[in-house]
Amino acid sequence: MDSNNYARELPEKLATTMAARAAHVLGVNSDGDVVKPARGLYPHQWSWDTAFIAIGLSALDVDLACRNIDALFTGQWRNGMVPHIVFDPAAKGYFPGPDRWASAEVSADAPSAPLTSGICQPPVHAIATLRTVRAASRQGGSTASAALGWAGTFFPKLLSWHRFLVRERTEANTGLVRIFHGWESGMDNSPRFDGPYSRVQPGPELPLYERRDLKFVADAAQRPTTNEYDRYLWLVEEAKQAGYDQQVLSRSSSFDVGDVFFTALFAAANDDLAELAALVGAPEVSEVRGYAERARAAVAARTGPSGLATDIDFRTGEDLGPGTVAGFAPLIAGQLAGQDLDKLVTLLQGPCWAGHPGLRWALPPSTSPCSPHFRPRSYWRGPVWPVTNWLFSWALERAGAEQAAADLRRTALRQVVEAGGLAEYYEPFTGEVLGSANHSWTAAVVVDWLCG
Ligand code: 2M8
């Protein structure tokens, strides 16, 4: 463990025990090389989870980190899209599975092996790739040269993914990345999407379905409602109806949101992709820098006087309002400085976020406790997610706000230690562990904090 990690924040024995437990969770959730998000609840490979998992793995086994990213990209579509789920044919029990998505039947762009879903998730893969290459370079020797060689061959796949988002998903007037399903945001039932979902009207032809998630999470209040699930499934039907054609969807999808958080992650990922391009000697450095600038400008244009950014519903032109962590998109997008940075740090640490007096730990809940939509046990409507703590501490460090980054990381680590579990999410006031009990991206960020 080097001096840049947070192991020293804990008594040595506890740090070692926590790192070992986190590594164990990653092992338990693996099938062969591939680390799934959780046994039972999420038995396939998820897109953005894989990137965070690789970030954790890179501290333990660089080659395994690369193999996980590679495995995800075996599901990449011919048009460049990285699907949000790559299905494991041996794993049953998740709904909606490959039959319901019918991607390969409906779209010539989708691979027939492996089978995949038909939508995407935030593009954090270039961030994970660059961190993996950097971890390898710190380890030196053949690990460093092998990782750099791998990054050289992998780079075109990342570039094709980013070009997909520019070509097919960047809305021309705003420069925002548009999403056609709340699942694409990764923050499935966030109140950000209540307005757009209220306009999604499932038709009588919605095929019957049986939810499987509630078999693994006993308390239904921790998961999206059935009313929400009907809408999630209806959007799958709409996407199939459109043949998963992005241009058709941009006209026909009843859900079409300019997502500031996704766009901010895309800006940051393009910064890292440009750096990767330079490292591997690819000629596309300035093309990718241009993507970063355009995405950052799009987030800045959605930023109000408070410093927080808001999504837009392209179907109605409606401003989707503040109150969720996605508002901190300008911090994620990068290049925030001076007063703009100070303002967001003060807000993040203030009484409507991590500084709310009722919180068990000073960590930002997924929805502000000051919002009327805050629900402390319901998934992305209030619980604290370690993965967003990772993103914010990473973004703060990138912005040069080192003290704020260190405080956030230290508290986030304290949360997982004191709550006694590497959970998917946590109740902000009581600290109760919620969702899946041994979640891979939680374990991965803990490994990164302790061993990275
Ligand atoms: C959650 O989403 C999936 C659908 O993609 C689900 O609820 O079934 C979200 O937290 C998402 O961000 C995450 O990638 C996924 C797996 O951890 O679970």
Q: Report whether 255 contacts 108 (CB < 8 A).
A: no
Q: Is the pLDDT of residue 4 over 60?
A: no
What mean pLDDT value characterizes the chain? 96
180-232 pLDDT per residue, tens: 999 999 999 999 999 999 999 999 999 999 999 999 998 999 999 999 999 99
Q: What is the pLDDT of residue 321?
A: 79
Q: Is the pLDDT of residue 13 over 90?
A: no
Q: What is the pLDDT of residue 10?
A: 79
Q: Report whether 182 contacts 255 (CB < 8 A).
A: yes
- Is the C-beta atom of 168 inside 6 A of ligand 1? no
pTM of the model: 0.97
Q: What is the pLDDT of residue 302?
A: 98
- How confident is residue 5, by pLDDT bands cut at 50, 70 and 90? low
Region 39-68 average pLDDT:
98
Pocket test for ligand 1, best of 36, 39, 42 (most atoms within 8 A of CB): 42
- Looking from the CA of residue 117, the nearest atom of ligand 1 is 5
- How confident is residue 2, by pLDDT bands cut at 50, 70 and 90? very low
Q: Which of 88, 109, 424, 427 is catalytic?
A: 424
Q: What is the pLDDT of residue 451?
A: 94
248-274 pLDDT per residue, tens: 999 999 999 999 999 999 999 999 999
236-251 pLDDT per residue, tens: 999 999 999 999 999 9
- Is the C-beta atom of 48 inside 6 A of ligand 1? yes
436-450 pLDDT per residue, tens: 999 999 999 999 999
For the CA atoms of the chain, what is the radius of gyration?
A: 20
Q: Which of 109, 168, 188, 272 is catalytic?
A: 188
150-168 pLDDT per residue, tens: 999 999 999 999 999 999 9
Q: Please say if 424 is a catalytic residue.
A: yes
Q: Is the pLDDT of residue 32 over 60?
A: yes
- Is the C-beta atom of 186 inside 6 A of ligand 1? yes
Q: Minimum mean pLDDT among 73-87, 216-230, 342-356: which range?
A: 216-230
| Helix/strand/coil (H/E/C) assignment for every residue in the chain | CCCCCCHHHCCHHHHHHHHHHHHHHHHHCEECCEECCECCCECCEEHHHHHHHHHHHCCCCHHHHHHHHHHHHCCCCCCCCCECEECCCCCCCCCCCHHHHCHHHHCCCCCCCCCECCCECCCCHHHHHHHHHHHHHHHCHHHHHHHHHHHHHHHHHHHHHHHHHHHHHECCCCCCEEECCHHHHCCCCCHHHHHHHHCCCCCCCCCCCCCCHHHHCCCHHHCCCHHHHHHHHHHHHHHHHCCCCHHHHHHHCCCCEECHHHHHHHHHHHHHHHHHHHHHCCCCHHHHHHHHHHHHHHHHHCECCCCCECCEECCCCEECCCCEHHHHHHHHHCCCCHHHHHHHHHHHHCCCCCCCCCCCCCCCCCECCCCCCCCCCCHHHCCECHHHHHHHHHHHHHCCCHHHHHHHHHHHHHHHHHHCCCCCEECCCCCCEECCCCCHHHHHHHHHHHHC
393-429 pLDDT per residue, tens: 999 999 999 999 999 999 999 999 999 999 999 999 9
